[in-house]
Amino acid sequence: MSLKIVVLAKQVPDTRNVGKDAMKADGTINRAALPAIFNPEDLNALEQALRLKDTHPGSTITLLTMGPGRAAEIIREGLYRGADNGYLLTDRAFAGADTLATSYALATAIRKIKDFDLIIGGRQAIDGDTAQVGPQVAEKLGLPQITYAEEIKSCENGVITILRHVDGGVETVQGKLPLVITVNGSASPCRPRNAKYVQKYKHAKTVTEKQQGNLDYEELYSKHDYLNLQEWSVADVNGDLEQCGLSGSPTKVKAVQNIVFQAKESKTLTATDRDVEDLIIELLDNHTIG
Amino acid sequence: MNNIFVYCEIEDESKVADVSLELLTKGRSLANQLNCQLEAVVIGSNLDGAIPEVLSYGVDRLHVFDAPKLYPYTSLPHASILVNLFKQEKPQIALMGADVIGRDLGPRVSSALTSGLTADCTALEIGDHEDKKTGTVYKDLLYQIRPAFGGNIVATIVNPEHRPQMATVREGVMKKAIVNPNYKGEVIKHNVPDYVSETDYAVTVIERHLAKSKNNLKASPIVIAGGYGVGSKANFDLLFELAKELHAEVGASRAAVDAGFTSNDRQVGQTGLTVRPKLYIACGISGQIQHIAGMQESSMIISINNDPAAPINQIADYVVNGTVEEVVPKMIKYYKKNSK
Ligand SMILES: Cc1cc2nc3c(=O)[nH]c(=O)nc-3n(C[C@H](O)[C@H](O)[C@H](O)COP(=O)(O)OP(=O)(O)OC[C@H]3O[C@@H](n4cnc5c(N)ncnc54)[C@H](O)[C@@H]3O)c2cc1C
Ligand SMILES: Nc1ncnc2c1ncn2[C@@H]1O[C@H](COP(=O)(O)O)[C@@H](O)[C@H]1O
């Protein structure tokens, strides 16, 4: 049985290698100083999809990503590894979305894609660390969910068996397609780009990207339709503006404080008996130990 | 009506998870502050044993959903119960643990109620909020405070318009305290089929392997952590000795685990455990960002390091310039001398 798989992938700033210049003086994030990458756990999700495609010939993988124009890079990275096509949801009206508005937008796009057996996303994105979008997309589509997946064990006759991570151990669960899966970072890493696919898709571009570049390749795009990456706006997916972006987000950020690079006032002591004893007495007095 | 609800997670058939008890304690104090009631929800099978314990945390109303297929946890039946119950009871605040269950359940419920949810909060407070654009002032909102952006910032989130205000909180961040072992709360046993439909049992658990965690690092109020600078497995024993005295647990950096000084279930950091103890003593740890990500919210940090320029010293409250071999035995000695 061949499968139609949608993979949710997000372009994120690489928060794991944050240098001092990543924070502006006013405590906000200097996104320009951080490289934009494929959200790590979304690569684990893609790998699970690619394995299903390996074992179920004729299956297709569609990448779906919401973000600014440059997030088209995510679709190309997916194509280079074996995905078949992708959609970029991009519109000013999507900006400022919290997880609820994000899942609303992704769910409307998935309804437009319509024909799917499985939706696979990463467990969480490293910019927000919320792990909310997967279950919320499932709820919006009225589908069951299996989160924290380590490995898809099998998928036969419309029944999928998954090993998932739970607190203090693992469990194996079973469910009927269609459903939504989110994949953990500890699952198998994603295979590297395939040179053949890089060659095939390196000129794949969205309309916006084509407009920005030179049009030397115009003929190429009319000849090879797979090089035309689709962009969808709110209107393209019949989205309700009230439920998108900032207006569709019930949570508001009240305040933000930069912590890591604020050095604390610290007391410096030596290793002498006197200093160590004073420290212990102080800790006992303020009931930190005792 | 408009009370505070805590979802109580059930582990091992009828034991309530620590994180839920911690949230009940927090919920009780928020309820006192807001002058409303604390309500709890337990969902599982054979729950009678759990009822007195939950009530003792100061629960005014306890909602019990007891049916064989509700344990072990699966997403849809538990989500349907909360969604239907919340529609009926209209809580102002709903809290759950930021573990695998809470992070699976919370988003599903908040999506169905379009209520918004803040994950992994490290503090919850009550305060007012003014919408700068409209000038509207909202009284007594829940401030949901959490690290964001890979732990590089701390954000305060509010839900001005939508209810319930939902948040998840990690284990060990809040204290648990029984209010009264005989606290008188109302117990409401609900008829499960009124809340869950047969189609909700869409995913079935066919096998589970749970290992009891060998250490109690996540919940320990004091953590003594060793890094590569501890130097050897034998020196690591010094840390265990100090930990025994202080009733603490021993943690480690990845470099110490990789060097074989201790086992990997003790690793703290981005790829290990996140701990938020009252006191974190970092022994011979340089303080790379991946390690700091797992311990920076400790209330007090002491660094013992022979390099005064070690990055960890930047976030430490006390810096002891010295070697682990010299300082740790002295700490043991002077603790023994002064604690009596
Ligand atoms: C993707 C990724 C994930 C990672 N995840 C984690 C993680 O989860 N947790 C983690 O800890 N690391 C993690 N790391 C590794 C991390 O980057 C550091 O390499 C590691 O934390 C360093 O450990 P350390 O401080 O013990 O060792 P070092 O950096 O070698 O520091 C040793 C320190 O000990 C001091 N010292 C030496 N001798 C003595 C002595 N006799 N007495 C006192 N002090 C002494 C030195 O001055 C130095 O400051 C990760 C790395 C990557 C790339
Ligand atoms: N803008 C987005 N575009 C595509 N997928 C997304 C987006 N945001 C979140 N996701 C998916 O949802 C998962 C969880 O994200 P989060 O809830 O933000 O931690 C990610 O790993 C992605 O698979």
User: What is the domain partition of chain B in residue ranges?
Assistant: 4-201, 222-338
Q: Do A168 and B155 touch (CB under 8 A)?
A: no
DSSP per position, B134-161: T--EEEEEEEEEEEETTTTEEEEEE-SS
pLDDT at B11: 87
Ligand 1: centre distance to CA B286 (Å): 5
Is A288 in Cβ contact with B279 (below 8 Å)? yes
* Res A140: pLDDT: 97
Q: What is the arithmetic mean of pLDDT over B286-311?
A: 91
Cβ contact A159:A140 at 8 Å:
no
Out of B159, B206, B326, the one facing A173 most closely (by C-beta) is B206
For chain A, how are helix, strand and coil distributed in percent, rounded to 5? 40, 30, 35
Spatial separation of the C-alpha atoms in residues A45 and A121, rounded to whole Å: 5
**Residue ranges in chain A modelled with pLDDT below 50:** 261
Q: Kindly tell me the burial class for residue A188, based on how many C-beta atoms sit within 10 Å of its own C-beta (0-12, 13-18, 19 or more).
A: middle
Contact B203, A146 (CB under 8 A): yes
Q: Give the domain B222-338 fold.
A: Rossmann fold (3.40.50)
Q: How far is CA B20 from CA B70, B181, B283, in A?
A: 18, 17, 32
Q: What is the ipTM of this complex?
A: 0.81
Whether the CB-CB separation of A95 and A245 falls below 8 Å is answered with: yes
**pLDDT tens-digit readout, B210-220:** 876 667 888 89
Mean per-residue pLDDT, B148-158: 78
Ligand 2, residues A12, A39, A41: which to mutate, most atoms within 8 A of Cβ?
Answer: A39
Residue of A nearest to B223 (CA): A289
Closest CA to B150 of B264, B39, B274: B274
Beta bridge partners of A160: A155, A175
Indicate the DSSP class of residue B41. Answer: E
Q: Does A136 touch chain B (CB under 8 A)?
A: yes
**Residue B236, token pair as written in the block:** 């690591």
**Pairwise CB contact (< 8 Å): A256 & B314:** no
Check residue A19 and give its pLDDT.
60
Calculate mean pLDDT across residues B284-295: 89
What pLDDT is stored for residue B212 in this prediction?
Answer: 67
For B109-125, how does the pLDDT look when each residue is reduced to its tens digit (9 = 90+)? 999 999 999 998 888 99
Helix A133-141 and helix A99-113: axis angle, to 10°?
50
Helices and strands per DSSP (H, E), number in chain B? 8, 18
Query: Checking phi first, is residue A142 left (phi over 0); if not, alpha (psi -120 to 50) or beta?
Result: left
Contact A170 B208 (CB under 8 A): yes
Span B23-54, pLDDT tens digits = 999 999 999 999 999 999 999 999 999 999 99
Task: Name the CATH superfamily for A4-248.
Answer: HUPs (3.40.50.620)
Amino acid B120: pLDDT: 86
The predicted model gives B5-25 an average pLDDT of: 92
Domain-by-domain residue ranges, chain A? 4-248
B156 vs A13, A135, A255: nearest CB: A255
User: Which residues, judged by CB distance below 6 Å to any ligand atom, belong to the binding site of ligand 1?
Assistant: B 227-229, 231, 253-256, 267-272, 284-286, 288, 290-291, 294, 304-307, 310, 323-325
Same fold, B4-201 and B222-338: yes
The SS3 call for residue A204 is coil
Residue A65: predicted pLDDT? 98
Among partner residues B205, B314, B317, which is closest to A173 by beta-carbon distance?
B205
Report which bound ligand comes closest to the CA of B225. Answer: 1
CB atoms within 10 A of CB B339: 14
The CATH architecture assigned to B4-201 reads: 3-Layer(aba) Sandwich (3.40)
Instruction: Give, for A175, the enclosing helix (H) or strand (E).
Output: strand A169-176
pLDDT of residue A213: 77
Q: Please answer yes or no on whether A173 and B100 come within 8 Å at the CB atom.
A: no
Residue of A nearest to B112 (CA): A139
